[in-house]
Every structure is written in structure tokens, then in C-alpha cells.
Chain A
Amino acid sequence: EDAMDTINNNPNNPKKVESRFILTDVMTSTAFSITGSDYAFYSSVYMELNVGIWGQMYNAEKRLVDPASATTYNNSWNAQYRNLYELKTSIEQCSENGPEKGNFVNLGISQILFAYNLAMLTDLMGDIPVTEALQPGKVYQPRIDKQEAVYTEVFRLLDEAILNLGKATTYPSIGNQDLIYKGDKAKWIKAANALKARFTMRLSFRSAKYDKVIEYANASFTGAAEELKYTYTGSASVNPFSRFFQDRNYFGASKSLSDKLTERNDPRSAKFFKPATGQSSVIFAPNGNPEQRQAYYGYSGLTSVTAPTYLMSYHELQFLKAEALVRSTPSQVAAAETELVKGIQAAFVKVGLTATDATTYYNNNVKARFDANPLKEIMIQKYLASYEDEGIEAYNDYRRLKAMGDDLITLASTLQFPQRFTYGSSDVTTNPNVRNAYGDGSYVYTEKVWWAGGTR
């Protein structure tokens, strides 16, 4: 038997690795596979940031089979649970009884990323397996947890993460293995607060706590340099939108987005779009009814291999703060305006314009609109700033606003709007709990998630 053990030894792969090596990939995978890819592509179609003009994106645009099919988001679903499993491994390693007990920084980072992934899953899919999930070989068919309970867990994790990151540790810094903040504890604490602000606002229809949003936002990023974003090398790793354009070329420039920019004489218009190869000017694709045709409609002008993926941007935080200020009692409109302007400035810099351009634009084209309807203009500016890759937040906001009775962002497509994303087919085919919840998939058009007024 010993001889056979020796023969069957696997020399090619390690059996144990430290948490820092796990975290590196969770960050990459979260940015590239989760926040930056499929979810963002489909959200950007539903939210009319892009128009699907080919293949799966055309199907999504036309609401053909894809929005209700279990295979549509399966890759992201699996990748996200894989992230959660890796984070669970890393949390266990850094906890009491684990081999890296006392590695509070890695523990805190793991908890933040866990909360981030968990919240995104429930935002898009509603009730999801959590308590019985992540036990391969032990539990084969995890039960589904309610979204409300999932959010309780998200906040618990973020609170614990902030505590852990505040503790002293004898472990060496995660350093370069942290592809986001290089192990800067203070920035991670700010990121955790930013996420708390985002998620608190998310639950506003169920329980409005605008003062808390402001409080968390104040404890967070002081500028774009601190925002939670993942940067690509441009060769060994590339921005998923640029890769999607290179490999698939499924998007065309959105007519309704362009109309909103034109209405405001927005200088970003020139940055956002460029004509297709061989076309002299940008042809905008009509939302909901484009021709299935490549190399015809305009492309995104922002696409770049090195464009970062924003997990939580500084401008988003400013818009959150502005919204909370307007909504809080008493409404603090003047303070909100200051935050809004900071948000627009950051959004301008993001696309290659300057803060001065933003101020000019604000004064000439936005201020009047803000004065007329502060909330609406904040939400529209937040929406415009989300082009092209922050569509998931735009999609979450849109559903939240509808639930709150604030019909502020107008979409041009008359086709039915998906209220949620489907579960992944790996669960639909093997887990009856999820299969029953999925049914034939048509629920995506009718059932809202809990925080948007639905039941599941």
C-alpha cells in the first residue's frame, strides 16, 4: 500500500495553499467573470446602455428565449458560487482552528468579497441557496434561503470584516497578491462602508434608512483613487467588454441612451460612441427592434483592454449620497447638489474628460433640470455614468425605483422587461429546490425580487 501511495502521489498540484493565493483569483474572477461579464452584458441590454445586435445579445434585446433560459447565466452562476466556495475556504483558513488563525486582514477581505458576491447573486436571482450551499460531496441539493435573510448575512459579514480589518495581525501583508488595494487595510474598510451604503439604499423600499446611507458613505471613499476597482494588465488580463467586442461583436450603440445625452447636450456623447468600421457616422440601433447585423451600428468608444472593472465606484457612492440626502427628512437638496456635482465630475474623468468639462456641463445643461426635479436628475446622471460596464447597478436601481413608485428612467423598448435573472442550469438540472423555483423560466417577467416588492 505504501508503494502504491507513492506511485499515486500527484506531483503536479499543491494540496494546500495560503489564503492570499486564493484571494488573488477571487478578485480576478469577481471583476472579470461576475461584475464585468455576462451579468453586465445582459443588464446593459435590458437597461438600454447597449443594444444587442447579434447572437445571444440580439436574443436578449428581442426578449427571445435567452432572458428566461436557465443556461443564459449558468456560467456566471457557477463562477460566483465557486468564488463563494473559495472565500469560504479562505475564511475557514483564517479563522479560529484554521491554519492561518489570526490573519485578520485576509479574513476581512474574504468577508467583504463574500458579502459582495452574495449580494449580487440575490439582487439578480432573488431567493438563493446559502445556508446549505457550498458543501460539495455533503449536500447535493441545497435549499433556498429568503432574500431578506441573505441580506442579513451580507450586513453581518461587512460588519465583521470592518472589525477584523481593524485588528492587529502578525501575518505579513497580502501585498501584491491583493490586485485591488495591495493589502491597504484602510481602503478595504472604506470599501466595506461603500458597500454598506449601496446595500442599505437597496433595501429602501422595505426599510428606508437614508441617514445610515449618508453615514456609511461618509466613512467611505474620499476620491476616485480609493474606489473599489480591478485593473487589467491589458495583455495577460483584459477588460471583459473589450474582449467581448473582439471575440463576439454583439453590441450596437443605443438609440435611447444617445437621446438622453443629446437632450442634455452632453459632451460624453462624443466619447461614448464611435462609428462601425466602414461607416462614416454612428448609426444608433433602435432599442427592442434592431436589425441583426454586425459591423453596421456604432460601437462603444469607451472599450479598452485596460479599462478597469468597477466593483463599487466613487461616482456611484456620490450619487448614492446625493439620493439619500434628497430623500432624507428633512430633504437636504443643497448638500445633495454638491455630491451630485462631485459624482458627475468623477464620471467625466472616468471617460477621459475633465472635472472642468463636468462643471461647465452641469451649469449649462443639468442644473435647471436638477432644480426642477432633484431626485430624477440624480438618478439619470447615475444612469448615464454607468455606461458601459456598470449596468448591473443601473438594473438594480431601475427595479428599486419602480418599487418605490419613482418612475424616473424611461426606457424606449416596448418589449417585456425581465424583473430578474434566471438561476443557473447546473442547479436547475440537479437541484429540485432550484428547479421548482425556476419552473419554465417565465417567472422572470412577472416575479419581482423581495426588495423590489416581490415575494421571492
Chain B
Amino acid sequence: QPKQVTGRVFSSEDKSPIPGVSVFVKEASSIGTTTNIDGQFTLKNIPANAKTLVFRFVGFQTQEVNIREGEISVTLVPETQKIDEVVVTAMGMKRDRKALGYAVQDIKAEAITRAGSSAVGTALQGKLAGVEIKPSSGMPGASTNITIRGARSFTGNNAPLYIIDGMPIASNADYSTGNSVTGTDVANRAVDIDPNDIESINVLKGQAAAALYGIRASNGVVIITTKSGKNVKGSKAVITFSTNYSADLISRKPEMQSTWAQGAPAAGGGYSFNPYASTNWGPKIADLPNDKTYGGNVANANNGNNASKYPGKYYVPQLKDAGYEEADRWVTPQVYNNVDDFFKTGYTLNNSFNISQAMEKGNYSFGVSNTTQEGIVPSTSMDRYTAKAAAEIKVANSWKTGFSTNYAQTYIMKAPGANDGLVATVFSAPRNYNLKGIPYASPTDPYYQILYRATNFNNPYWAINNNKFDEKTNRFYGNSFVEYSPNIFGDSDKKLNFKYQLGMDSYSTHFQDINEYKSKNTLGSINNYGITATTYNSLLTVTFDMNITKDIKFNLLLGNEINQENNKTYSESGSNFNFGGWAHINNATIKNTSENQSRSRTVGFFGNLSLSYRDLIYLNATGRQDVVSTMPRGNRTFFYPSVSLGFVLTELEALKGNSILSFAKLRASYAEVGQAGRYYENYYVTPSYSGGFWTGNPIQYPLSGVTAYIPNTTQYDPNLKPQNTVSFEVGADLRFFNNLFGIDYTFSRQDVKDQIFDVPLAGSTGASALTMNGGAIYTNAHEVVVSINPIRQKDLEWSINVNFTKMDNYVKELAEGVESIFLGGFTTPQVRAGVGSKFPVIYGSSFKKDAQGRILVDERATINGVANPYYGFPMQGKPDVIGSAAPDFTLGASTTLRYKRITISSTIDWKKGGQMYHGTNGLLSYTYGLAKSTEDRTSVFVYPGFKADGTPNDIQRGGSTDQAAYYNLYANTLGNIDEAFIFNNSYVKLRELTLSYRLPKIKGIDINVTGFARNILIWTNLPNFDPEATQGNTNMGGAFERFTTPQSMSFGMGLNFVF
């Protein structure tokens, strides 16, 4: 046996030597070295019993070589040629990719982190087929709605199950944004995951892939593996430090008119300036000095009837409230850019540090990271600290134990949207009003707001300095395990393995919504609320492997899982502060507290059977029996089966070794999974009076010491049973020319029956909703993943990856008497699910149309002898479906080009089709008269509609004799028809662009420098705004917008050091 070995390592591609390859002894991994610049290595002190050397290098397959005398020459094969990839599937089972009878897609760390995204959800955009990712806004920590292969529930949960290192963890928001028309967004708990700590993400899309998880599996599973010491190359500790910084800017801003001032057309012709109007239908800004009440060129009460005192200026009454001297209240008309003034450049700073090592007896990994983010809207921010520790150790020959723990602290400061929108008074600020320049409060009373419109709206500057919306989470999650692999079968191919894992996910989140004294003309309010949630998960699995014959392999897994969730939420709300400046519950004159406890338990027994014949046919069957506590007695136990088949055509003799078709597999699967609802016996509640015309809650029990209870307006059907999803999936995975080109196609169909949701009832039934099995929905999904690797040279590599998704999610039927259900929004418009339509649709007041669907115009020139101001304008029709949010298809494409040490990558996202209700666009264009499209108010026009007799409208409006025509069309007609607020929101986005350079090693330190940009280019049908800023963390997400915090784009730089 030689004590010393020398050799050289080459690449199989161009036969050139590879420097930096890690070489170590398999039997004693602490003995190792790396190849020099010429690919040469020398390894000394090799123990006598050592037989094998291991060669590892990034981008190449690991290779093992027997130790022998003489110079060893090793040729490494690039990883892209590797077919027998191992993927992690349900319950942590590792399977060859080619053995799978269903689609899974995985993403490696590099693709997640390269553009410096601070959230897992957005980092995945454009990189997966069949997965829809809808961010709500550009606010730090904003919720992201992820659905895999469409929705299975209208109002319930469609989010996939997250499994981190084998432990299911909470990823949803604990508080729904409800109708998403008031208040702030609520972050979902996936926000606690630092993308930098992720090693890989596997997405189990279909139900067959996930069926082993039983009742929680119907929405697919996102399996996250965090960094561990397991895959560390060589034997020494690897220290990684990475840092990135990015500047965030508002991604798109509205184009505004710059001619017209606040006010409205005057009754007797002309325009009337109104310094307290939110509408901009008044005189030209340049004409303000000529206004009869406020103009300096006209004698009026404000200038002491002296027209020569302030010529060319006009009076701004708000400046009086601001304490300005009389002469300073007169200003020269000017156009202000209030939007640019308000938004600032935000930033994101991310630092993470990790140390990992693999040793003979085990491995460990410790890491800490911090993300600090400030949003483009002042007062929004996120601070996240995470720490993790994981280790694994072989304690005896057949025993292994380990743990993985994570701690996260997340603090998010938010801005409210929709009716409470902070940006409402920014986007709609009149062009003649200096929002930033005019003080936001009286100098004598800091709570007396000064604004361009009436007092029940907040001045945004006052709001960011006085109101506060935040949430703070402390979270611990992790698990530990013991694994026993007894060597009872000796050297035979039979293997038995027991594993027990106990995990916990425990967190508490505290929310504060503070509206300071005099916010929105109220006496203020505070709501402190939060949740303490603890989930325990116990998992026992037994696996048995054997080869029945030489060709037939057998694998069996049996297991038991118990999942117990205990939640407690609390709320302490107070309103009507005694005085300003102390926005604390102790200063509130009305106080209310409540708490809510809930528990649920799921017990599951499951089994998985795999059979394979050679490398040709793979058969997998699973079954799981679940018992859940949240359903009514007698309806708690369910069984979920799945079966899948993979058939590798290229293993057939006829196709083997084919130089064109390098790999071909057909796959098919069938599965049934379910979803439970939350059933309670009908109960009574203390009613709330918020909503409707009211800001806040105008009636708060107890009243003079008495309280009241009424039947809860949502009732429960005692015959509730779980909803069931039946799905099948077929697919083909084809690769050509030695993997130069690959295409993976999947068709899947899901049929969801007995959907559980709160079926809306007619008001006349006395209740508003009934929790029952009330609908069926089906989804046809086509997913295509194309990968092309046209160039694979040592110095030049180019790869392209395209993900195409076409998903048609239809509502098949709803409970009797229900034609559509409410998902969110205002009384009108709303987002709904309706029978026969794609999910979801937008419902609201429509244009009055003829039988052919053409918009009709009002042909009455006069009404009761008075001229009809709406003559020739469209009319309101019946309430109807006015828009469909579902896209025709989405396509994400990523490409990576590496030349020597430089790598360029980019991701493009294309969403084709789909509509949304865009409240801000509508309000700016119609009601407020601020959008660029309202610049022209003098030309004669004909509204493009039709007359009742079918001829095109020819009624001319506008011009000098009809000055109010534009106002009556936009503000009074279109502004009142919801359908006018529907916009197509197809887009193409340059989602990510990165350029990185890997420095030559300096003193053994690997340094990688990356410059990146996110969300920088958008082409879209939607005017003025980024279509990816919408309201809500619920299923209406993506379809509804009204004064949502806008999206951001980022430019940044990252540094990565590996020691």
C-alpha cells in the first residue's frame, strides 16, 4: 500500500487540467488536499487501510478512484451530464429523479440568492412551472401568495405545506386581511426564513407526490433543506460570509396632468377653484390668480378687496392654519411633484455568516444572519435576525442522531392600504398643492392636520410621523432525530432503518395598529393583538429495502405522524384617546379585550411501497389514514391513496445508447387527498359595528355596563365532511443530444369535490354564511420545462431554462342557490368565484350594453325639460362579472452565461392575459382628474359607444360651450361604474439581472462579487402602476388594488467570501 499518491485531474470536456479540485481519502476524510493550477495533487500520510480516493469539484460529478501506485489520472465529468440525480421526496425519502412517476422541481441555493432577494417567495418568481407567486406590494415583509397548480379552495387555504428539514412549519399569515379594503397587510410566516440559509428547495407539485402528507398535502409541498455540513467538500471547516446591499426605488409612477387645479366646473359655467377639494376639475393652475375668491388679481375678501396687493398670486388657506403671516399665504401658481417628493430610496442590507464542517463521525453547521430593510415608503421597514445550528453524529455503528434548530426574530413596520391607504393622499394630491412644503400640522396643535382635502383623510406626512403599524415575531423551530439502522441482515442487500423525529415550531407575534389622536378626524385608536402558536410534530418511520431478484428492487416505508397545534390569540383594543402624544392603551377611554384559543390535532398512519424493475419501470404506491380533530364527530377519519408509475424508455434495448435521444421517461400518477375545514358547534358572539360608512367601530360593547350576544352570522353545517381532491397527472421527460436539450411536459387534472367554504347566504335567511361543503372546482394544468445547454466548455458555459404554465382553474358548481361567492373587496366591486367562470372574477357595476355587448350611451338630451349633463355618455348596467383575474399563461425564463470567472444571469417573467380592478388608476383618471389622460378638457369628443338602434354614438360633447362635459364623463359617469376600473394587467418583467465575478483565490479565500438588479424593466398594459402591487394576503390577491403601497425595483451588490 502506498503512503503517498500523486496525480492529475482533467475535465472530460476539453481535457484541460482542473485546479482547486478537492481530493480526500474516503475512509479518512480529514486527509485531503486540493489540486494546483495545473490540476496536480500530492496526498501524503495515507493510512494503510485506505482503499479509495474521492474527487470533488463544483459543477462536476464526484468521482471515486481506487488508490494505486503510480500517477493517477482522473477525468471529471460535468454535472450537467448527470442523469441519476437524487431528489428529496415526501417524508425525506431520497429517490433517483428518473424513478419518479410525478413532477417535482428543485431549485438550488445559488438561483435563490443570486439577486439578493430577502424573501423566499419572490426569489422563486419565474423559476418554477405550475407555481403561481403573487407578491402583494413592495413593502418590506409584504405577504406573498403562492399557489401550486391553481386553487383548491375559494376562501380557505391554498398555500402549500412548508417542510423545513423534515419538520412541517407554519408559513401562512395568522391574520387574514379579510376583505382587504382596510388596515395593513399581514406578513405570512414564510418571512422568517432567510433565503441565504437555504441549500435547496424541492417543490412537490402534484397530489401524488405529496399524498404521503395526507390531509395537509392537497396544496403541494415546498421542501426546504437548509445548509448543513453534510455536503461540505474536503475535511476542513468551511466558513462562508456573504453580504449584499441594494437600493430600492419605486418601480413605476403615475403620469399626471399638469394643467388643472382643485375644484369643479361652476354651476353657471367656468370653473370654481376649491382649495379643499380632492378633485382636480377646477380652473387651470395658471389661472388661479384670477379666481374670484382666492385670486390675487381679483378684489376679494382674502386680499382686503385690493387687487393690486398680491398680483399673479393666489391665496392658500392651509397656510393660515400653518401659522404663516398673511403675505406668505399668497403663492405663485406652480405644479408640484408630490409623488416624487414622498417616495424615498429604500435599501436592503443582508449579512450572513455560516460555518460548516463534515467530519468522519458527523457534521455540523452554524449560521447567523441579519436583514435590514427600509422601504420606499417612509416608515416601512423590516429587521430580521436568524440563527441556526444543526449537527449530526454517528454515535455507534448503527445509530445516528442529530438536530436542527432555527431562531428568527422579525420586526416589520408597515403602511396601511385601500380605504386606510397611506399613499391615498400622496397619489391623489392635487398638482397645485405643495404637499411636502406645506406643514402637515398646526404649529399650535400638532394633532390638528393640514391637508388639501377634508379632514377625514390623513396627511401622509402626519401619518408617518404619528401612526404606527408594526408586527414583531420571535420564533423557534427545529427538530431532533434518532436513526437506527441495525445490521441484522449482514452484508446482504436487505436494509432496515428506523427513524424517529420530534419537531417543534413555536412563535409569538405581536401586532400594533396605532392611529394617533385626531387620525382621520377621530379621537384615535390602538389595537394590540397577537398570537402565540406552538406546533409539535412527532414522526416515526420504518424503512425496509431489499432486492427481490437481481432486477426487482423493493422498498417499504411505514410511519406514524402526530401533529398538534395550540394557538392563542389576544386583542387589546382601545379608542378615543384623552389627548395626543401618548398613543397607548392607558390613554384610551374605551377599552376592549378578547382572547381566542384553539387546538387541533391530526394523527396519521401511512405507508409507501416502491417496486422497480431494472432501471426501466418504477412503481410507487402510498396510503395514508388521517384522523383530524377539526371536523364534526363521525366525519373525522379519511384515507388517501396514491399510485404512480415511471417508465424509462431509453432503458429499452432498442433505444439504449441512442445518440440523439439521451433519455426518455413517461410517467403517470393518480392520487386522492383532502382538506379539512374548521367545524364548531354554532355559537353566539358580541357583535361588531365596523364596516359600511364607518371608520372604526362606532358601537363598542359593553354599553353602560351591559353587553350583548347574537348568533354568529356564520353558521356551521353539522354534516360537514372533508373536501376531496382527485388528481391525475401524465408527463414525459425527454433529453436530447447528451442533455444539450431537454423538455419536461406535465399535464395534470385536479377535481376538487365537496369544497368547504363559507357559503354566502341571502340576507333574508338571517345569516350571512354557512360553513358547508358547497362546491366543486377543477383545474387543467399544462407545465413545460425546457432546458437548453448550448455551450458547455470549460471557459464558456451557457444555459437557458424556460418554465411555461397554462392553468385553467374553473368553478364547476356551487351549493344550491349560490352562483358566486365573495372573496374580498368592497360592497361593490368585489372579487368573487362564480360558476362556469375561471377563478377568480371581478364583479361589480357594469356598463349598460346591448345584446351584442356594445356599450350603450344615454340618448336623452333633456330630462324633465332640463339639459341632461350625461347626454351621450355610457350608463350603468346591472351588477355583473366585469373582469377575470386568471392569466392565459405565464412564462418564466432564466439564462446563465459564464465566461471563465464571469457569470451573467437573468430571469424574465411573462404573464399573458388577466385583469384586475385598479382603484388607484380609476380614481386618478376619473374621480380625481389627475391622470395624464385627463389633460385635454377642451376638445370636442364623442364617447366611443353605441346608440340603442345599433349605430355608433355620434353625440358630440365638450368644447367651449360644454365645459363640464369631461367632468361629467369622468368624475360623474365613469368614476361610478366599476367596469371602467378594470384593466388588463399582462406584463413582461425583467425580474432579475446579475453579473458576478469570481476572483482568483487569495490566500485560500474564494471571493465572489455580484452586481444585481431586480424588477427593473416592465412592459405592461396596465397604465401608470406596477401590476404586482395589490391588496390582501387572501385568495383575492392579485386582482384588487386601491392605494396599495407600490412595488419597488432594486439595484445592488453582493460579496461572498468562502474561507
Contacts and interface: CB of A to CB of B under 8 A. Distances in A.
A12 B596 contact: yes
Interface stretch (B379-387, B709-717, B934-942): B709-717
B605 to A, nearest CB: 16
Given A85-B767, A236-B702, A295-B276, A430 B629 contact: no
B766 A22 contact: no
Contacts of B18: none
Contacts of A10: 598, 680-681, 683
Interface in B671-719: 679-685, 687, 689, 691-695, 698-713, 715, 717
A249 B454 contact: yes
B699 A278 contact: no
A133 B766 contact: yes
B373 interface: no
Given A137-B715, A429-B879, A179 B267 contact: no
Given A70-B879, A128-B764, A136-B767, A8 B866 contact: no
B772 interface: yes
A136 B770 CA distance: 8
A7 interface: yes
Contacts of B596: 12
Interface residues of A, number: 91
A28 B633 CA distance: 37
Given A137-B715, A236-B590, A8 B597 contact: no
B4 interface: no
Interface in A68-119: 69-71, 74-75, 77-78, 81-82, 84-86, 88-89
A32 B274 contact: no
A291 B264 contact: yes
A136 B706 contact: no
A17 B708 CA distance: 9
Contact of A295 (B454, B599, B629, B865): B454
Interface in A1-58: 1, 4-5, 7-8, 10-17, 21-22, 24-25, 28-29, 32-33, 37-38, 41
B877 A74 contact: no
Given A246-B522, A292-B264, A236 B703 contact: yes
A137 B695 CA distance: 32
A7 to B, nearest CB: 4
Interface in B472-490: none
A162 to B, nearest CB: 25
B827 A74 contact: yes
A304 interface: no
Contact of A25 (B687, B863, B877): B687
B762 A142 contact: yes
A140 B629 CA distance: 29
- Contact residue range for chain B? 35 or more
Contacts of B721: none
Given A7-B601, A32-B699, A136 B715 contact: yes
Which residue, A82, A236, A434, has most C-beta atoms of chain B within 10 A?
A: A236
Interface stretch (B813-821, B1026-1034, B1051-1059): B813-821
A7 B596 CA distance: 14
A294 B683 contact: no
Contacts of B977: 65
Given A136-B761, A140-B816, A289 B712 contact: no
Nearest to B272: A291
A135 B764 CA distance: 9
A119 to B, nearest CB: 16
A346 to B, nearest CB: 25
A448 to B, nearest CB: 19
A427 B683 contact: no
6 contacts: A1-B636, A8-B630, A28-B703, A41-B693, A82-B767, A414-B864
Shortest beta-carbon contacts, A-B, top 3: A85-B766, A25-B708, A136-B767
Interface of B: 264, 266-267, 272, 274, 276-277, 279, 317, 453-456, 520-522, 576, 589-590, 595-601, 627-630, 633-634, 636, 679-685, 687, 689, 691-695, 698-713, 715, 717, 760-768, 770, 772, 815-820, 827-828, 845, 863-866, 876-879, 971-972, 976-977
Given A416-B863, A430-B762, 4 more contacts: A12-B596, A14-B684, A136-B767, A238-B698
Interface of A: 1, 4-5, 7-8, 10-17, 21-22, 24-25, 28-29, 32-33, 37-38, 41, 59, 62, 64-65, 69-71, 74-75, 77-78, 81-82, 84-86, 88-89, 128-129, 133-137, 139-142, 176-177, 179, 233, 235-238, 240, 243-244, 246-249, 278, 286, 289, 291-296, 414-416, 424-431, 434, 440-441
